[in-house]
């Protein structure tokens, strides 16, 4: 049996098809993408759609064909899509990869005449999120299946792979193996891959081809059911019959918004009624586009795209179709557009609708009828404005059609222009902050306005806004009167929008300024389109319709590796094919254990409060719930966890942040467990709460540690400095947003309190220790297993501990396995984020621009417990000077104690915050001194052997070399001049370019963590099994360990296998973090393999022609041990803060980036035009993996510096950005349009400490993402200088969101917004950045 209302992904996974992943649960990330095929009777063909299975109910799939990632290929015979993504490095952690595979597969299946274009490939992947790769390798791999890609249209008519060093162009075979005869007719890289052949694809099942049987899906009510009966009518007559019997039934079409039972026991699915699925251009006066209510956004988008043929600009309704197309193209992502219907959207009247404003501007009407009576009522036509206002709608009205008038001619002597405009916080797969549909009719003889419509969404939370007063003000006015527009109409619009804002709206001031800016852009565009005269220079009218970003081009530069050498080669991730085919197993992919229960967590809804009572009566009454509520008193051992044991596993009486664990229940299935946990009633007594760094400073709410690093005499140096400057800089929090949420399975073994724990953790030891302490048993009874995790970035370093402990308590009590999987919302509420920072700095400089003294006071928001905040602050204080030599320095750090979830480890671990504060200071001081910031940075760079403020020397310091080398290779000076020339000509589009260096110190701050162990087994068939301490989380650790082992033993890479990590094989594993995994685990693996190689050396010398299997057998027969356990350590005291010295890093990974951006100053939207990165990674073990880490870290840094804004509602302490729809990680459309990455080559290292002289690469490139921030800052400077006529110092903090950027570009519109705020017309909001 199954529940027809359950999401498709739940059904698939219960059936064992776990390749389809669950990441967000709300259709916002694409990890759950599958292909759904259906025969379209109207079109006479099979249509394929990529949809989000996490929001698609089963009842919507009757009569359709569902294809999952398992259905298109496997490791042995992968589909070309899977093979290209896997082997061309398009996967790291792999959790998102099946979704990307299915999105691209569906695009190929829909091609009727060959391959798609590169632009179509990028667009089809815009609804899929990836947190690891930075998207570039995914796009490059996918575009090898595009018709206009060099792979298919380049060298020799597509024989080559398109690379400049293609072996078809050079004798050295740089991109592949040279052929034996040297006369290969094909590119040897390309020849490794299967050719795509559409004729070999799965056919649509004939049994479904003409299956048109009306079905009623009926079931009896159950405790877990929301409805009792579901109908799927296929005709309007069938629909009327159902509605006649069930007049109060709920109507559902696309199913992209979860339907909530409001006392109705019947659901009717409309998605298969062909009479509601037509899109027709109907003649008349005027002609109109008639759209059936069950037409999807994608279908209407396709129709409008087909209507935008060359020459359409000569047709009177050109702007109408263009506006509709532009709107549809930017709504959500492709998967949602493929399912969501126009009628469902209109009937639901969502307040954030991008479509309704455009339909209102187009003068759309709807056709509706009541289906509830004994006889169907006649059709009624209403203006859309009447329907959405509710003034003319009747209770049982059902929308059947939407009519969009398309005037074949305009009124005599008049011209009409319609435009859709939208601004969201990122370029794709995002809801609008404000979107609008605007229409104006101008009398060409007088230039005056005869009609106007200005419709907005994103202003009110309950409905759209029609700016009637603004439109009325425009009537009869000269439309080309710029003075009227700027001094009258814009202010009227701003005031009208401000008056309509919902109380406590986030970004209120930005919404007002943005709506007003969009009106200004519409005015400018309309004047140009209607040729009404001159418009302001570069007013932004150059793009009259939405233009998607240009396809990405990329370049990866590194020296080739000798063929007979394995170390350094760009081998694909060893699990890449498993990732792409869905065969890689993550914790929640493991088959259910017999009798398994699921955990439901009761979480605090207060930021700081005493718990007065807990009532589980309603919860425990639900069928399938285990009859016990687990609270703090049920924990048999220690109810404390975290590094300093200062946080309770389950709160015993007081909660300290919104989301803290209070209690837990277990139930027969996941949905029941979650629903039951929500029914637990908790009564609180609220206590005062502190949220921000500023509040904590005012209230002196700090943790006890006060940390200092000091070198030289700062006070004396300030006295002798020619200039002394002071300021501050801030950077906000960042959510890890790993694609795989936390998941735990605890399996009691039945004797001696033994338990197996399968965890998504970066620290097996800590998880094992936490469970043992909570259960009050020795650690040797608890085994923690980790095969792989779907991304971590530091966020899975510790939180798995309390979840595993709670699960263990429940499993012990029930004597059954317990599975705990957090929802994305739960995960974002409780896991902690990157620490927000405030830095108050003081800098002394001499006349020649040399820094003499630097002092900074750092404050971080640590949340309510220590976690690793002290260690993060230590790293910050050891990194404060960035890449610069400051002879006298003093750094002080305090961690603020607040009532948010404890901030925790995150890729960069305090270094990026400290470097940002330093670089922000350097930029501002350079401007105050009148020195180009690049010159100011360069003259203060460290030199080889310089002492850091912690009084440690720098060795192998290559950054000055890279600083100069990248400027030359990236043509910085010429591009900087071109940017200035562009800015002089453009009014509302400004460009910026910035160069930024970074150094990242490598060490674990705890001495005992700078170690690792490995166990190597050689089997008699010549294969090798490797165990080591590290956790594979996408960084390619197992791949590098396999390469190190294969190279040391002299065997093929495919002969080595890494099974995973388990505490019963190797005890006390070091946490996987600090970018140190390869150094430590690689050292252990290399040590063990060299020992084994030494044992086998005599046999190899005696048996030079024998296989490795024969050599192993010979040694075995001589009773030689073919297993080796090794221990590797770096014995060094990592820090000496007692003596005011920071970390003594083992070495520094260094890099430089140049970023160029273009900023739309009216909206804050921006495009990263080009990025050049040069990194010193030492002697890379795997250059392809290292480049992937560089790109992925860089884009995560871009997100931190620009779009990712973590916000809190200070009214109750809840995380406001707790969903992917509100927290914007970059998409594939946000990456640099020209992305160039190079590895420094040809350097002689004298002090290199890494295994094979490689340098850590996971974290160091992240800060280079801030180069985009500093480039945007340059663009804002240009805009401000133009507006104010002076060169005021620009101060901006991280993240520089669209809101930050728009409001920083001061102009008449921001002045209006400031004035409205000063007059008290903008209500304050409790939603704010932390």
* Cβ 432 vs Cβ 424: under 8 Å: yes
More confident residue, 290 or 549: 290
Query: Whole-angstrom distance between the N-terminal and C-terminal Cα of the chain?
Result: 47
Instruction: State the pLDDT at residue 541.
Output: 45
Return d(Cα 921, Cα 942) in angstroms, integer: 17
Helix ranges restricted to H, 815-879: 824-830, 869-877
In the residue annotation, 1259 being an active-site residue is answered as: yes
pLDDT higher than threshold 80 for residue 601: yes
Kindly state the average pLDDT of the residues 952-963: 96
Predicted confidence band at 164 (pLDDT cuts at 50, 70, 90)?
Answer: low
pLDDT tens digit string along 319-355? 999 999 999 999 999 999 999 999 988 887 766 788 9
Instruction: State the pLDDT at residue 259.
Output: 52
pLDDT tens digit string along 1155-1213? 999 999 999 999 999 999 999 999 999 999 999 999 999 999 999 999 999 999 999 99
What are the φ/ψ torsions at residue 449 (nearest 5 degrees)? -80, 130
Instruction: State the pLDDT at residue 546.
Output: 57
* Cβ 228 vs Cβ 220: under 8 Å: yes
Instruction: State the pLDDT at residue 158.
Output: 66
pLDDT higher than threshold 70 for residue 219: no
Instruction: State the pLDDT at residue 466.
Output: 93
pLDDT higher than threshold 60 for residue 216: no
Residue among 274, 257, 158 at smallest CA distance from 214: 274
- Which neighbouring-strand residues pair with 728? 840
Among 1259, 1274, 1299, 1317, which one carries the catalytic annotation?
1259
Residue 1318 burial by CB count (10 A; 0-12/13-18/19+): exposed, middle or buried? exposed
Length of the chain: 1330
pLDDT higher than threshold 70 for residue 1225: yes
Neighbours of 192 (CB within 10 A): 11
Instruction: State the pLDDT at residue 1133.
Output: 81
Can you tell me whether residue 853 is helix, strand or coil? Answer: strand
Placement of tokens 């509830």 in the chain: 372
pLDDT tens digit string along 656-675? 999 999 999 999 999 999 99
Can you tell me whether residue 582 is helix, strand or coil? Answer: coil
- Which neighbouring-strand residues pair with 38? 47
Predicted confidence band at 622 (pLDDT cuts at 50, 70, 90)?
Answer: very high
Residue 371 burial by CB count (10 A; 0-12/13-18/19+): exposed, middle or buried? buried
Neighbours of 77 (CB within 10 A): 11
DSSP letters spanning 1095-1111: HHHHHHHH-TTS-HHHH
pLDDT tens digit string along 1015-1070? 999 999 999 999 999 999 999 999 999 999 999 999 999 999 999 999 999 999 99
* Cβ 936 vs Cβ 926: under 8 Å: yes
Instruction: State the pLDDT at residue 377.
Output: 72
Residue among 980, 1125, 987 at smallest CA distance from 1065: 1125
Predicted confidence band at 215 (pLDDT cuts at 50, 70, 90)?
Answer: very low
789: left (phi over 0), alpha (psi -120 to 50) or beta: beta
Instruction: State the pLDDT at residue 1093.
Output: 98
- Burial code (b: 16+ CB inside 10 Å, e: under 16) for 90-127 equals bbbbbbbbbbbbbbbbbbbbbeeeebbebebbbbbbbb
* Cβ 1063 vs Cβ 766: under 8 Å: no
List all residues 6 or more positions away from 1012 whose beta carbon is below 8 Å from its beta carbon. Answer: 1028, 1029, 1030, 1069, 1070, 1080, 1081, 1083, 1084, 1127, 1128, 1129
pLDDT higher than threshold 90 for residue 533: no
Return d(Cα 587, Cα 767) in angstroms, integer: 15
pLDDT tens digit string along 864-891? 999 999 999 999 999 999 999 999 999 9
Mean pLDDT of the chain: 92
- Which neighbouring-strand residues pair with 424? 432
Kindly state the average pLDDT of the residues 494-519: 95
More confident residue, 224 or 469: 469
- Which neighbouring-strand residues pair with 840? 728, 857
pLDDT higher than threshold 60 for residue 157: no
* Cβ 703 vs Cβ 895: under 8 Å: yes
């Amino acid at each position: 049996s199954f529940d027809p209302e359950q999401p498709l992904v739940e059904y698939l996974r219960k059936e064992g098809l776990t390749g389809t992943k669950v990441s967000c649960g709300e259709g916002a990330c694409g990890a759950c993408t599958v292909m759904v095929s259906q025969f379209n009777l109207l079109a006479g063909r099979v249509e394929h759609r990529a949809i989000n299975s996490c929001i698609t109910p089963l009842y919507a799939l009757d009569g359709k064909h569902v294809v999952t990632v398992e259905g298109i290929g496997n490791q042995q015979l992968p589909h070309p899509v899977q093979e290209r993504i896997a082997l061309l490095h398009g996967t790291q952690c792999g959790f998102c990869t099946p979704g990307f595979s299915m999105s691209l597969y569906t695009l190929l299946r829909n091609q009727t005449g060959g391959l798609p274009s590169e632009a179509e490939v990028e667009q089809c992947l815009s609804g899929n999120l990836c947190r690891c790769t930075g998207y570039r390798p995914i796009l490059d791999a996918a575009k090898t299946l595009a018709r206009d890609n060099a792979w298919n249209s380049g060298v020799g008519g597509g024989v080559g792979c398109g690379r400049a060093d293609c072996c078809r162009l050079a004798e050295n075979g740089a991109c592949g193996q040279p052929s034996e005869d040297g006369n290969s007719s094909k590119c040897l890289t390309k020849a490794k891959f299967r050719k795509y052949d559409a004729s070999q694809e799965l056919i649509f099942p004939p049994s479904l081809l003409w299956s048109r049987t009306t079905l009623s899906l009926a079931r009896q009510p159950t405790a877990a059911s929301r409805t009792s009966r579901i109908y799927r009518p296929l005709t309007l007559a069938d629909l009327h019959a159902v509605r006649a019997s069930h007049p109060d039934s709920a109507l559902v079409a696309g199913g992209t918004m979860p339907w909530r039972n409001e006392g109705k026991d019947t659901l009717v699915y409309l998605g298969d009624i062909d009479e509601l699925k037509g899109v027709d251009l109907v003649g008349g006066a005027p002609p109109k586009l008639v759209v059936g209510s069950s037409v999807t956004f994608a279908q209407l988008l396709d129709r409008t795209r087909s209507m935008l043929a060359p020459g359409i600009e000569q047709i009177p309704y050109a702007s109408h179709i263009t506006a509709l197309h532009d709107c549809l193209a930017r709504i959500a992502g492709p998967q949602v557009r493929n399912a969501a219907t126009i009628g469902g959207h209109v009937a639901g009247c969502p307040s954030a609708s991008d479509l309704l404003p455009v339909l209102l501007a187009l003068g759309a009407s709807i056709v509706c009828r009541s289906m509830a009576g004994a006889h169907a009522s006649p059709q009624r036509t209403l203006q859309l404005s009447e329907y959405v206002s509710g003034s003319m709608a009747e209770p049982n009205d059902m929308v059947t059609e939407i009519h969009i008038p398309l005037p074949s001619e305009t009124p005599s002597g008049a011209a009409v222009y319609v435009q859709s405009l939208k601004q969201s916080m990122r370029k794709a797969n995002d809801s609008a902050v404000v979107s609008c549909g605007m229409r104006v009719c101008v009398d060409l003889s007088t230039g005056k306005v005869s009609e106007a419509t200005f419709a907005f969404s994103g202003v009110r939370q309950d409905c759209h806004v029609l700016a009637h007063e603004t439109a009325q003000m425009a009537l009869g006015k000269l439309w080309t009167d710029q003075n009227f527009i700027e001094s009258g109409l814009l202010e009227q619009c701003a005031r009208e929008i401000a008056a309509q804002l919902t109380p406590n709206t986030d970004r209120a001031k930005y919404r007002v300024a943005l709506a007003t800016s969009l009106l200004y852009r519409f005015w400018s565009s309309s004047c140009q389109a209607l040729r009404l005269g001159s418009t302001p220079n570069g007013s932004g009218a150059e793009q009259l319709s939405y233009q998607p970003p240009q396809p990405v081009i990329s370049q990866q530069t590194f020296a080739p590796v000798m063929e007979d050498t394995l170390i350094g080669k760009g081998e694909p991730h060893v699990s890449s094919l498993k990732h792409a085919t869905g065969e890689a197993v993550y914790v929640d992919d493991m088959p259910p254990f017999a009798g398994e229960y699921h955990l439901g967590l009761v979480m605090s809804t207060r930021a700081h409060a005493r718990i007065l009572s807990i009532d589980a009566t309603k919860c425990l009454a639900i069928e399938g719930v285990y009859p016990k509520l687990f609270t703090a008193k049920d924990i048999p051992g220690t109810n404390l966890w975290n590094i300093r044991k200062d946080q309770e596993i389950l709160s015993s009486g007081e909660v300290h942040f919104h989301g803290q664990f209070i209690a837990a229940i277990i139930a027969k299935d996941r949905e029941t467990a979650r629903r039951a946990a929500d029914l637990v009633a908790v009564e609180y007594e609220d206590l005062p709460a502190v949220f921000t760094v500023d509040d904590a400073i005012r209230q002196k709410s700090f943790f006890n540690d006060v940390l200092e690093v000091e070198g030289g005499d700062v006070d004396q140096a300030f006295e002798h400095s020619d200039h002394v400057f002071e300021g501050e800089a801030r950077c906000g929090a960042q959510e890890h947003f790993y694609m795989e949420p936390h998941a735990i399975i605890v399996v009691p073994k039945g004797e001696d309190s033994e338990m197996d724990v399968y965890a998504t953790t970066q620290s097996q030891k800590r998880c094992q220790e936490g469970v043992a302490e909570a259960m009050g048993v020795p650690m040797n009874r608890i085994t923690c297993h980790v095969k792989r995790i779907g991304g971590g970035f530091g966020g899975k370093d510790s939180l798995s501990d309390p979840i595993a402990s709670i699960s263990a308590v429940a499993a012990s009590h029930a004597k059954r396995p317990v599975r705990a999987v957090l929802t994305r919302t739960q995960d974002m509420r409780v896991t902690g984020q990157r620490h927000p920072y405030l830095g108050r700095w003081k800098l002394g400089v001499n006349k020649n621009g040399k820094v003499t003294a630097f002092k900074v006071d750092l404050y971080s928001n640590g949340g309510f417990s220590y976690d690793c905040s002290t260690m993060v602050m230590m790293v910050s204080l050891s990194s404060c000077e960035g890449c610069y030599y400051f002879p006298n320095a003093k750094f002080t750090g305090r961690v603020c104690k607040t009532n948010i979830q404890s901030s925790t480890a995150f890729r960069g671990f305090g270094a990026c915050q400290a470097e940002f504060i330093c670089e922000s200071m350097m930029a501002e001081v350079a401007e105050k001194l009148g020195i180009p910031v690049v010159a100011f940075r360069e003259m203060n760079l460290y030199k080889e052997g310089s002492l850091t403020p912690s009084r440690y020397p720098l060795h192998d310091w290559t950054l000055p070399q890279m600083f100069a080398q990248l400027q030359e290779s990236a043509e910085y000076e010429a591009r900087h001049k071109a940017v200035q020339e562009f800015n002089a000509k453009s009014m509302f589009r400004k460009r910026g370019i910035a160069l930024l260096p970074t150094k990242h110190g490598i060490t674990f701050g705890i001495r005992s963590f700078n170690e690792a162990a490995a166990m190597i087994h050689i089997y008699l068939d010549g294969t090798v099994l490797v165990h080591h301490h590290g956790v594979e989380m996408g960084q390619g650790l197992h791949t590098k360990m396999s390469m190190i082992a294969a190279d040391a033993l002299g065997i093929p890479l495919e002969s080595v296998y890494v099974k995973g990590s388990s505490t019963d094989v190797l005890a006390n594993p070091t946490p996987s973090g600090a970018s140190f995994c390869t150094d430590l685990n690689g050292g252990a693996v290399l040590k063990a393999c060299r020992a084994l190689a030494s044992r086998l050396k005599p046999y190899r010398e005696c048996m030079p022609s024998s296989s490795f299997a024969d050599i192993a057998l010979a040694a075995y027969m001589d009773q030689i041990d073919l297993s080796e356990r090794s221990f590797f350590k770096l014995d060094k005291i990592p820090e000496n803060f007692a003596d005011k010295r920071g970390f003594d890093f083992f070495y520094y990974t260094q890099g430089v980036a140049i970023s160029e951006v273009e900023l739309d100053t009216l909206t804050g939207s921006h495009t990263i035009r080009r990025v050049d990165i040069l990194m010193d990674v030492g002697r890379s073990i795997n250059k392809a993996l290292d480049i992937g880490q560089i790109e992925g870290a860089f884009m995560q840094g871009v997100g931190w510096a620009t779009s990712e804004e973590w916000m809190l509602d200070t009214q109750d302490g809840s995380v406001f950005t707790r969903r992917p729809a509100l927290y914007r990680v970059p998409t594939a459309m946000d990456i640099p349009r020209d992305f160039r990455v190079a590895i420094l080559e040809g350097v002689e290292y004298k002090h290199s400490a890494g295994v094979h002289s490689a340098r850590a690469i996971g974290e160091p490139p992240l800060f280079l993402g801030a180069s985009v921030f500093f480039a945007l800052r340059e663009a804002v400077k240009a805009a401000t200088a133009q507006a104010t006529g002076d060169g005021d110092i620009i101060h901006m903090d991280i993240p520089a969101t669209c809101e930050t950027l728009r409001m920083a570009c001061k102009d008449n519109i921001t002045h209006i917004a400031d004035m409205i705020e000063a007059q008290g017309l903008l209500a304050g909001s409790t939603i704010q950045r932390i």
